[in-house]
Amino acid sequence: MLFKLSVNNIRKSLRDYAIYFFTLIIGVSVFYVFNAIHGQTAMMRIDSDTRELVELLRTTLSGVSVFVAGVLGLLIVYASRFLMKRRNKEFALYMMLGMSKGKISALLLTETVIIGLGSLGVGLLIGIGLSQLMSALVANLFEADMTEYKFMVSGDSIVLTVINFAVMYLVVVIFNSIVISRFKLIDLLQSGRKSEQTKLKNPVLCVIVFILSAVMLGYAYYQAGWKLADNFEEGRLAVYIAMGAVSTFLIFWSVSGMLLKIIMSMKKIYFKELNSFTFRQISSKVNTMVFSMTVICLMLFVTICALSGSFSIRNSLNQNLKKLCPADVDFVENTVAPCGTDIDVLEDFKLCDVDIDSYLSEYVVIRTYMDENFTFYDFAESASSQVTDYMQEMISVSDYNHLMELYGKESVTLNDNEYILLCNFQTAKEIQNKSLAKHKTITIWGNTLSPKYDSCLDGFIEISENPVNYGIFIVPDSVIDENAVVSEKLIGNYAAETKQEKSALETEFRKQYDEKIRPNLHLLSYMKSNRGYCRLDTKLDIANAAIGLGAISTFLGLYLGLVFLIACGAILALKELSESVDSIPRYEMIRKIGVDENDISKSLFQQTGIFFLLPLILACIHSVFGMKFASIFLEMFGTEKTAESIAATSIIILLIYGGYFLITYYCSKGIIKEKR
Amino acid sequence: MELLKIQQIEKYYGNKSSLTKAIDDISFSVENGEFVAIMGASGSGKTTLLNCISTIDRVTAGHIYLENTDITTLKGKQLNQFRREKLGFIFQDFNLLDTLTAFENIALALSIQKKNPHDIEKAVQIVAEQLGITQVLMKYPYQMSGGQKQRVASARAIITNPKLVLADEPTGALDSKSAKMLLERFDYLNTQMQTTIMMVTHDSFTASYATRVIFIKDGRIFNEISKGHDTRKQFFDKIMNVVTLLGGDVSDAL
């Protein structure tokens, strides 16, 4: 009997449950898809380095999953609470018929179980389907071989998903029971009768609050986006974030009152067709959910930043690899400061019995120098005290040109009294460009040189995954003091063509390095200075790290972004739908006085649209400044293809948030149409 | 001049196994400038009749003509246009939008006719004056008394200068003082502004403000009396006589 009642209840309120069910299904499938990534890579042929990265990805994703489960749990509790409220009359009827509270709880439990099982089943099916698509993305990111790929289901992920959602449903059941135990019959019966008092907030107060919060927000933006960039402190960032959140709340508190006041004063617009009705509806909706709007706006903000940040990291990493790694091998011996020690890389290889020619088809050896009397502070006067001082590194123009020949890049020419500053790290560039613009002369080893260009030359000498060259001075060979050498670098290409051959050679070379050079570090020439280091970088290593970082950031961004979007969409949709149910009599009334169905649809579309757009607009504004702040930190990854990242982010938001909007609009239309 | 002509209309509810004849062959007509009350017990079919005239419901058979237009054949947009341009509605439960002020509620009837916003303001002021609600124009429905709400609803109904104002139990939710005040306004609108009003009620006192009363019983016209040159009191007594006759043991006709 109870079961039959539950099933009928669900069927009857399918309209209310549609969004709830939809949200649960997306939640379950997203949860499954991201936890199944690990299992999918097992099928792919990827090398052991990447395997380690996949392992790292797995741990990161499962850590984030705990957080995601928390967010989804809160969302489900919110949604179920919402649905409970809608059914107060029904519960009142049960209680009047003499049903005990225990029975009602049991009824709700049955309903939750049915919905839970249904959503888990459907969600997992969709998740399994989607995860096959996801493997294509995984393979693409890890550059894996997909030829042996088969349709697969991850048992681990299913178990994890089921356990997580079972816990969430359990929380919902407990929560519902608590709510039911507090029911009072009289409140339930009268719940629909309490007429909503739509008090218009004092418009003058609204305008004042709006202006104040806008000013506060502007201040927080300015401080976080510009001031904090020069002088970073974690504590202050927290203060600005808090200010941003508070002003967001105040803006939502005041915006509807203020806009309403403005529109009301424009009589031409306000008294046109259904506009007065539409704007009043919107303002009452916004007024009743200031807090939810704030949370939604902030979540959208995080989503936009997470998505576009992760995409731009990935895009830049791929770009950087092409641009910043034009050679296969970079071996460096470095003494940190000039100490009169002669460094000879090739001699050291011979000493360790490594035949460099059998691995590398071509290579160049270059040296860099430092002058103790020529530091960063000496050159960049405008540098803030945040940067610690260091000696500037120099390279002879002939070494530089040899290297560029290897890299296949343009060489430079230099007069005897000139220098060029080579730099590609944005912040360092900006600081040092100021000095170059003033035509700053430098004095090294007693020679005075003036700049050839009035800004930095964009470039680097060592291969790396990111543009992190703080500045190297290219100086004429004639001024170099050989005693001031600090490092010698061997940069070259493997004697191989294909990726596989290179990879095989690399394994060999690594082995030589690990077995012959590393145990004999004390024999190497740089060690005579008693300080410094030697290092081997390879393009393959850098590429693997880049792929891993790119993949992890992409997945994290997508995962968090999707979950947050679902949460935002669902909250707005539920609220809007219940508003529509409450507004049925209003629509009936305006229909009776002869309003066209088209005009009603238009009004509903405007209401839903503005309701969804408001938090999105503010979140976008937040994001512009948030990204400006983040760009300072993202800079070391490079900032290429920002437009592409923004486009990708917009598409994802448009699909999910827009999807929720459309579903809400059509469901609301159905709701207000029904009772004809 | 004949404004409304109702010709042998019938309205059935239900299915073959249990058929209810809510209206069973009713015909009558309403002249321009008349104030007609329709009386009957609960379930007599008077509200159904009003719904059919107001095009909220459809007749099963028969025709309704308003100014020679057969409104039973109107559909979709024409229907909405007809409703907003030719008819004015007053309901028992006021049916004001709780999110709008009195002014905006009244203005809405004009703005959905896409009237010029400037003219709207003037028009609202004029009807507010006529119905004595100028002081409450900036209030929300929840801040007004029932009588005020009903007068606002009446203002909304007449502001469009409709051919026919339809009122469904307009005094049903009002105390006797507010009811009297509202009915006096109706009388004013009818005599001074020549508004044609058709009102459904089961209250004899309310009906006594009309110029003609049509009695309905079980979906058929039972009787019809005109005020003629009687005073309101005399007319009330006449109505009471018919009600007694009509009611017999059905006391709720009072």
Q: Which residue of A has its CA nearest to B55?
A: A592
Its ipTM equals 0.79
Measured at the CA of A136, the angle between CA A133 and CA A138, to 5 degrees, comes to 110
In this structure, what DSSP letter does residue A515 have?
A: I
Angle between the N-to-C axes of helices A597-634 and A275-288, in degrees from 0 to 180, rounded to the nearest 10 = 50
For chain A, what are the domain ranges?
Answer: 1-193, 195-263, 297-328+555-676, 336-531
Cα(A431)–Cα(A433) distance, integer angstroms: 6
Buried b (16+ CB within 10 A) or exposed e, B76-115: eeebbebbbebbbbbbbebbbbbbbbbbbbbbbbbbbbeb
Task: Using pLDDT thresholds of 50, 70 and 90, give the confidence band for residue A243.
Answer: confident
Other beta carbons less than 10 A from residue B10's beta carbon: 16
Segment A186-209, tens digit of pLDDT: 777 766 555 455 556 677 888 888
Element containing residue A510 per DSSP (H, E): helix A499-512
Looking at residue A609, its pLDDT comes to 92
Task: Using pLDDT thresholds of 50, 70 and 90, give the confidence band for residue A63.
Answer: confident
Segment A533-588, tens digit of pLDDT: 888 888 888 887 777 777 777 888 888 888 888 888 888 888 888 888 778 888 88
Q: Nearest-CA neighbor of B168 among B154, B148, B189, B180? A: B154
Asked whether residue A103 carries a pLDDT value surpassing 70, the answer given is yes
Asked whether residue B223 carries a pLDDT value surpassing 60, the answer given is yes
Give which of B71, B79, B80 to mutate to test A binding, by max A Cβ within 10 Å. B80
Q: Which residue of A has its CA nearest to B111?
A: A273
Segment A500-519, tens digit of pLDDT: 788 888 888 888 888 887 77
| Domains of chain B: residue spans and CATH | 2-253 (3.40.50.300)
Q: Nearest-CA neighbor of B154 among A319, A200, B162, A315? A: B162
Looking at residue A142, its pLDDT comes to 66
Helix spans in chain B (H): 46-53, 76-86, 102-111, 117-131, 146-158, 176-192, 204-207, 232-247
- Amino acid A523 reads L
pTM: 0.75
Q: Which residue of B has its CA nearest to A283?
A: B99
Segment A388-409, tens digit of pLDDT: 788 888 898 888 888 888 888 8
Of A196, A276, A280, the CB nearest to B111: A276
Segment of A83-97, A197-211, A233-247, B190-204 carrying the highest mean pLDDT: B190-204
Of A268, A280, A597, the CB nearest to B99: A280
Percent of chain A scoring above 90 in pLDDT: 2
Looking at residue A345, its pLDDT comes to 80
Residue A582 contacts B, CB cutoff 8 Å? no
Q: What is the dihedral of CA A650, A651, A657, A660, to 10 degrees?
A: 160
Average pLDDT, chain B: 84
Cα(A608)–Cα(A668) distance, integer angstroms: 9
B192 Cβ contact partners less than 8 Å away, ≥ 6 residues apart: none
Q: Which residue of B has its CA nearest to A596?
A: B80
8 A C-beta contact, residue A119 and residue A111: no
Task: Using pLDDT thresholds of 50, 70 and 90, give the confidence band for residue A471.
Answer: confident
A177 Cβ contact partners less than 8 Å away, ≥ 6 residues apart: A105, A108
Per CB-CB distance under 8 Å, the chain B contacts of A198 are 98-99, 140, 142
Residue A198 contacts B, CB cutoff 8 Å? yes
Pair type for strands B197-201 and B164-168: parallel
Per CB-CB distance under 8 Å, the chain B contacts of A196 are 98
Segment A642-665, tens digit of pLDDT: 677 788 888 888 888 898 899 889
Residue A438 DSSP SS3: coil
Looking at residue A432, its pLDDT comes to 84
Asked whether residue B252 carries a pLDDT value surpassing 60, the answer given is no
Segment of A602-616, B11-25, B139-153, B175-189 carrying the highest mean pLDDT: A602-616
A169 Cβ contact partners less than 8 Å away, ≥ 6 residues apart: A76, A112, A113, A116
Contact across the interface for A593 and B84, Cβ inside 8 Å: yes
Residue A174 contacts B, CB cutoff 8 Å? no
A vs B, Cβ pairs < 8 A, gives 85
